[in-house]
Amino acid sequence: MKKIIVFTLFLIMGCTNHPSINLDFQSPYKPKENPILKADSNFTFVNPIDKQIVRWQKAEVFNPAAIVKDNKVFLLYRSEDNPAAGFAQRTSRIGLAYSDDGVHFTKYPTPVLYPDNDRFKQYDYPGGCEDPRVVQTEDGLYVMSYTSWNHKIARLSIAFSKDLIHWEKKGLAFEKALDGRLMKSWSKSGSMVVKLIDGKQVLTKINGKYWMYWGEEFINLAWSDNLIDWNPLVDKKGNLKEVVQRRKNKFDSRLVECGPPAMLTEEGIILLYNGKNSVKEDADPSLPKGTYSVGKIVFDSTDMEKIVSRSDTPFLKPTLPHETTGQYAAGTTFAEGLVYFKSKWFLYYGTADSYVGLAIFK
């Protein structure tokens, strides 16, 4: 496929970035309130599949999406129910919490997205709904990309909402792509491209289409007309294009996994991403093996596959005790939520697959 060229000028696209908004995303600080969300076994929920009461966030809460609504920060976070179950064998549900200051959160009593007796059960159960990213359209529709996990194959899925509480599952992002070839393939971590409008990150079209960076073994680029059905880019042989690859002896030597929604800016398209250090000899020697940390990529806004710049070292890595203990003790700062709030950038991330952390850019 030919390179994607953006013919529409940046100003015509209507971006209203204010010059005082810092987009460097370097050297954030972690406030003393960390971790800002923890598991709580007092929260119960009737599982619609077996009608049993489940303590849906008894084990862990982590990997949050974030969005600003009504002058509040809302987090949609992954929760796991049974601490006795093994790693990746629990059921995940997505909970909702809100905050007036971006630091102290109040949780809603029940999850807002979860496995149900619906046509998506075969994809969502028993593993659950994991790792959301949330964006909004100009007319106020909220769009979530999340992982459906049935303990066999992880698949990227889409849901819509008008209020962040009631969600309608729309299905698998790649169900119709490539004649259904991706239905049996692993897909995760969808970061749709947004732009800043009056400080809000709003979905934008480029050349008349929506775009999304996605993936973890490598990063691919996909487009959509309706935000439901996504079409990944392929090479001349019909294989998925590896727009971003892993690098030996770097913090992303094992995985390159998309983080919060990508942003179209005057600098280019900024994607914060999660790199996993290898556990082999090609690991970054400056980090513990297996560590997850966060870096930054800038893509050319006129050639969305072209990398303009990329972090050689992470700007966010595990440094606090709860980031190097827990369910994933190798150390994790895994970013999925980024909002501009009270004239600062708030970055929300999962820590060791056990808590929700916060880093703020000055």
- How buried is 221 (Cβ within 10 angstroms: 0-12 exposed, 13-18 middle, 19+ buried)? buried
Q: Which residue has the tokens 């119960």?
A: 44
Instruction: Classify residue 199 as left (phi > 0), alpha (psi -120 to 50) or beta.
Output: left
Contact present, 354 and 361 (Cβ < 8 Å): no
**Residue ranges of domains in the chain, CATH in brackets:** 45-361 (2.115.10.20)
CA distance 269 to 302: 9
Beta bridge partners of 351: 333, 355
CA neighbor of 155 nearest in space, from 118, 128, 179? 128
- The confidence score (pLDDT) of residue 263 equals 97
**Secondary structure (3-state) at 46:** strand
Strands 194-197 and 263-264: parallel
Q: Which of 275, 272, 271, 274 is nearest to 252 (CA)?
A: 275
120, 129 contact by CB (below 8 A): no
How is the beta sheet containing 333-341 ordered, strand by strand? 333-341, 344-351, 355-361
Q: Which of 330, 329, 317 is nearest to 357 (CA)?
A: 317
Residue spans of alpha helices (H) in the chain: 121-124
Q: What six digits make up the tokens of 299?
A: 């893509």
Q: What is the pLDDT of residue 285?
A: 97
Of 176, 175, 158, nearest to 167 (Cα)?
Answer: 158
- C-alpha to C-alpha distance for 249 and 313, rounded to whole angstroms: 11
pLDDT at residue number 20: 63
pLDDT on residue 125? 97
Q: What is the pLDDT along the chain (362 residues), one digit of tens a residue?
A: 444 433 343 433 444 444 468 899 999 999 999 999 999 999 999 999 999 999 999 999 999 999 999 999 999 999 999 887 776 678 999 999 999 999 999 999 999 999 999 999 999 999 999 999 999 999 999 999 999 999 999 999 999 999 999 999 999 999 999 999 999 999 999 999 999 998 889 999 999 999 999 999 999 999 999 999 999 999 999 999 999 999 999 999 999 999 999 999 999 999 999 999 999 999 999 999 999 999 999 999 989 999 999 999 999 999 999 999 888 888 999 999 999 999 999 999 999 989 999 999 98
Evaluate whether 29 touches 362 at the Cβ level (below 8 Å): yes
The alpha carbon dihedral of 8, 9, 10, 13 has a sign of negative
What are the backbone angles phi and psi of residue 267, rounded to the nearest 5°? -75, -25
Q: What is the pLDDT of residue 7?
A: 35
